[in-house]
Amino acid sequence: MSAESPRRGMLERYAEHAGADAIEQLRQLAGLLTGLKVVHVNSTRRGGGVAEILETMVPLMQELGLDASWEVIEGNDDFFTCTKSFHNTLQGKTLDIPPALLIAYEEVNAANAERLRPILEAADIVIVHDPQPAPLLSHCPERRGKWIWRCHIDLSHPYRPVWKYLRRFLLGYDASIFSLDAFAQPMPHPVYLIPPSIDPLSEKNLPLDPANVRQVLEEFGVDAARPMLLQISRFDRFKDPLGVIQAYRLAKDFVPSLQLVLAGGSAADDPEGETVVEDVRRSAEGDPDIHVLSSGHYSDQTINALQTGADIVLQKSLREGFGLTVTEAMWKGKPVIGGNTGGIRLQLVNHRTGFLVDTPEGAALRIRYLLAERSRIGQIGENAREFVRQNFLRTRHLREYMTLMVALTHGNADRIELG
């Protein structure tokens, strides 16, 4: 299936956020890749971070003159059970995957290869996202292009037996891409590092009417006239929601009007998530200024309104991937107090774009500082937005993909001088 036709003028709309110079650079770089047949492959057209990236990346590549398309592999229940286990084990969970599921994984890939082989073998560049479609390469012996495995997950501490099984499907690739150096595993081919990005034109990130923001806050019983702290993330021990409540309580002693909103997606398929929500509710009991929003799925616009309405955003993770919720909040001009871990470190510079903390006490201190020095909220928020504009928008992500494509198609030397 090919991707939707390019939305004309997308680049111009991105120029309003990223700057005309950044778009001009994309055009120049794309000039070296005109007509290049690029195929992205993943396992879902809707939902999840990868689909969100490809929804804009593919049309942008098309508008720049690349012959880009997006293919999705089709799987059955066993296949998706297996790949969900991959996801958990590659991020450190100890779990042995039954052989029957591994067989389903390989069979689904073999079946999809029958359907996709002509497209994949004819492509100049094939970018395979995450482990789901990884074995496709072994079914395309007549491939003529370069194959890249794009890993969106944190592979720093994989459960070794599962990684050992998957690795053999990756050895034939020409390159891999990881989001951060700390997430990468050694490979026999070049391992590129490309951080993820946010889309400034998505519902999650477009500016909202203040009336809409107020309405959403009222809907959840939050008083827009009083200071509000927000953490948006799954209810997961690694996101430390109990530490956030502790930090809020320590700060509330000094700022009695303070409110806290903890919002996260539903965790119906995650038994541990349910336990964490219960613990959080128990800890918040008796305090009407703590709002735990854990039921149902919140729309992108609701998340946007909560982030826009917050005075300070927290992401007090103990372990984190890149932390795109941090990027989103920074883009809305919010100072973020984040855990000193993973990709949060790349985004928060103390006193400049936010604060890195190691303890609830540290978070409380920074909350008190910002609420006592209200002008700093604006200054840090402004810095944060500019920092994201320069480094973490979709256009930068696209530029790095195209640079990598030029490198791979021009011999992968350290220095490539063209034109």
Least separation in angstroms between CB 366 and other proteins:
17
Binding mask 49-88 vs other proteins (x if CB under 8 A, - otherwise)? ----------------------------------------
Interface residue with other proteins, options 4, 24, 223, 272 (CB under 8 A): 24
Interface residue with other proteins, options 3, 29, 72, 125 (CB under 8 A): 29
Residue 35 touching other proteins (CB under 8 A)? no
Least separation in angstroms between CB 166 and other proteins:
18
Least separation in angstroms between CB 236 and other proteins:
18
Nearer to other proteins, 188 or 210 (CB): 188
**Which of these ranges, 35-43, 267-275, 286-294, 410-418, lies near other proteins under the rule CB under 8 A?**
410-418
Residue 285 touching other proteins (CB under 8 A)? no
Listed in sequence order, the residues at least 6 apart from 318 whose beta carbon sits closer than 8 Å to its beta carbon are: 237, 238, 239, 240, 243, 339, 341
Residues 335-364 touching other proteins, rule: CB under 8 A, are 341, 346-347, 349, 352-353
Nearest to 23 by CA among 34, 35, 10: 10
**Which of these ranges, 38-46, 178-186, 307-315, 368-376, lies near other proteins under the rule CB under 8 A?**
178-186
Least separation in angstroms between CB 100 and other proteins:
35
Nearer to other proteins, 243 or 309 (CB): 243
Mark out the alpha helices in 228-359 (DSSP H runs).
Answer: 241-252, 271-284, 300-309, 324-331, 344-347
Burial 46-69 (b: 16+ CB within 10 A, else e): eeeebbbbbbbbbbbbbbbebebb
Residue 230 region, left (φ>0) first, then alpha (ψ -120 to 50), else beta? beta
Nearer to other proteins, 11 or 73 (CB): 11
Nearer to other proteins, 115 or 164 (CB): 164
Residue 34 touching other proteins (CB under 8 A)? no
What is the residue whose two structure tokens read 């890993």?
Answer: 151
Burial of 172 (0-12, 13-18, 19+ CB in 10 A): middle
- Dihedral angle sign, alpha carbons of residues 32, 38, 40, 41: negative
CB 62 within 8 A of CB 32: no
Nearer to other proteins, 24 or 361 (CB): 24
CB 173 within 8 A of CB 150: no
Nearer to other proteins, 21 or 269 (CB): 21
Interface residue with other proteins, options 222, 383, 394, 397 (CB under 8 A): 383
- How many residues touch other proteins under the rule CB under 8 A: the total is 48
In whole angstroms, what separates CA 296 from the centre of its chain?
21
CA gap 177, 183 in Å, rounded: 10
Burial of 1 (0-12, 13-18, 19+ CB in 10 A): exposed
Binding mask 180-209 vs other proteins (x if CB under 8 A, - otherwise)? -xx-x-xx--xxxxxx--------------
Residue 391 touching other proteins (CB under 8 A)? yes
| C-alpha to C-alpha distances, 4 to 23, 63, 125, 244, 277, nearest whole angstrom | 22, 12, 19, 42, 39
Least separation in angstroms between CB 277 and other proteins:
27
Listed in sequence order, the residues at least 6 apart from 55 whose beta carbon sits closer than 8 Å to its beta carbon are: none
Residue 414 touching other proteins (CB under 8 A)? yes
CB 309 within 8 A of CB 208: no
Residues that bind other proteins (CB under 8 A): 20-22, 24-25, 28-29, 31-32, 178, 181-182, 184, 186-187, 190-195, 341, 346-347, 349, 352-353, 383, 387, 390-392, 399-400, 402-404, 406-407, 410, 412-419
